Each structure stands twice: as structure tokens, then as C-alpha cells.
Amino acid sequence: MLKEYLYLISYRTMTWIVRYLPQKYIHYLLQFFTFFAYFIARKHTKIIYTNLDFAYDHTLDKSTQKKIAKRVYYNLLQTIVSLMEREFITPKQLIENVTFQNDQILIKALKENKKIIFITGHYSNWELVPTAIATKYAMTLTTVGRKLDTPKMDQILVKNREKFGLEMLYREGAVRGTLKALREGKAVCMLPDQALGENQGGIKVTFFGKDVGHSPTASVLARSANAIIIPAFITTDDYKNYTLTFYDPIEPIVTENKEQDIFAMTQAQADITQKVIQAKPEEWFWFHRRWKVYYPELYKKVKE
């Protein structure tokens, strides 16, 4: 109980700082924390370098890797700050600095009353993706996430998301809940870019030319509900102005070979995620042990 209240006090204190401290000084503060975390959180920094070496076959020089690694920490801190900002801004303010590209893809799907599954990744300010879409297009959007360990903080997060038109589902029982949401005409948003072993329901696809375990949930839902999958990723250069881009939809595939259908749709999700990351690798969350399912030895040198 004491730990929970300490978390709550810390969060409220930081929210107050974010609200009243000028943006210039918030930037300086986050730069300090980035520098501190880069050297102190050695395990996570090693994971970043390990992933970069593996994904790019040791072709990135150390200077580029260091730049990416520091940006990964800074991105995470900015995402947390963005969540805090939503405590005291309006839906209109949320999207005033967001540019939506290729939204004719979404508008066409809405006009045709298609069931929609958005997929994104832990990329740039990923928490902004579903809230911005729900706000801009007046949609009810169901998201899936992990329940926080501290109930009071979890309540804050849920309330924060509901303020901008999101419905929260926890991972346990998420398939049934998301399928119900699609049948009710709601859209769904998922982040399938984390490692998932076959014993956890994952399937093998190729990512950066290597085998990875990938969640097939979006593909299973698309096939079952006849829904299209619309990839949507957000990016920024200055952490004030964001660009949210919609990519060509992945149509549901329904043949007699269910396993192949699901694989094809899941591989397509991995492909677009890789394309986005390769365009600006410094914005992806390289902390994940993305290749651990089929290359467990890759991370043995990283101390727990």
C-alpha cells in the first residue's frame, strides 16, 4: 500500500511539473534523465546495442548506435510526459499539432462501414496513436494493454484514455473482448511488435531478415470478423509537431488454409513495421528482446 501511494505522489508531482514548467526546461530535464539512464541502466543499453547489431548485421557504426540509443531513452521519457499532459488538456488541444497523412484510407473504410483493426508499434509516441485517431475521427476505439501493478495508477491510466474516446481491455480475455467490439461497430487498436513465443500463441515470421515470434491476434480477428487491418504509425522531429500516417490496409484473407491465411496477414504486419523502423530507426523502442524466441543466445551477454 505504501509503495502504491509513493508511486501516486511521484506521478502527481511530475504531472504538476509538466503542467507548469516551460517546455524549454522540460527538454533540459529530459536530456539530463536521458544522459543518466544511458549510463546507469546498463542492461537496457546493452539490449539496444545487441538489437541494433543483430538487425543491421553490424553495419551501423558506434556513433550512429549511440545516437539511436540515447534517442530511445528520450522518446520513452517524452511518451511518459505526453501521458501526463493529457491530464490537463482537451481533446482539441491533443490533436492541434498532429498532421494526419493518407487518411483517405481510413475515411474510405468508414464510409464503407468496414470493421477496422489498427496496428501500430512501440514507435515514437505510440500512446498518442489511438487517442489521436479516436479524437480526430470521433470514433470509439478499443485498445488492449497490460494492467498496471498498482491499482490506483491503473485507474489513472484508464481514466486518461477514456477521456479521449478509448475503451481499455486487458490482455486476458482480450480476443473475445475485441471481437465483441468489432461486431458492435467499434474499431480496435493493437501493438503486436513484441516477442511472443509459440507457447504463448505466437507464430514465426521474418523481421529484419531473421525469425521472430509475432502475435497473430490481429490476423485472427481480421479473418474471423472480416475486418481490414490499417497500419498507423506516428513520428516527430521536435516532440511538438507529430505526423500520423495511415498505410495501405491489409485485407482479410479467408481460404481453406487458415494457418497460411493468418501467416500471410501477420507477415504483412511485420513487413510494414520494419519499413517504418528502417526509415527512422531512432524512434523505435529497441529495449525489447525482439528476437529472443528463436535466438535466445543473443541476449545471454546481457546481465539481468
Q: Give domain status of residue 28, yes or no.
A: yes
Q: Give domain status of residue 304, yes or no.
A: no
Q: Give domain status of residue 79, yes or no.
A: yes
3-state secondary structure 82-111: HHHHCCCCCHHHHHCCEEEECCHHHHHHHH
User: Domain of 219?
Assistant: 2-299
Q: Which pTM was predicted?
A: 0.93
Question: Taking 90 as the threshold, does the pLDDT of residue 298 lie above it?
Answer: yes
Q: Give domain status of residue 11, yes or no.
A: yes
Local confidence band at 9 (pLDDT 50, 70, 90 cut-offs): confident
**Burial class of residue 95 in the structure, from the number of CB atoms within 10 Å of its CB (0-12 exposed, 13-18 middle, 19+ buried):** buried
Q: What is the DSSP string of 210-230?
A: EEEEE--HHHHHHHHHTEEEE
Percent of the chain at pLDDT exceeding 70 = 96
What pLDDT was estimated at residue 162? 77
Q: What is the mean pLDDT of the chain?
A: 92
Q: What is the DSSP-derived secondary structure letter of residue 7?
A: H
**Number of domains making up the chain:** 1
pLDDT tens-digit readout, 129-177: 999 999 999 998 999 877 766 777 777 777 777 788 888 887 776 788 8
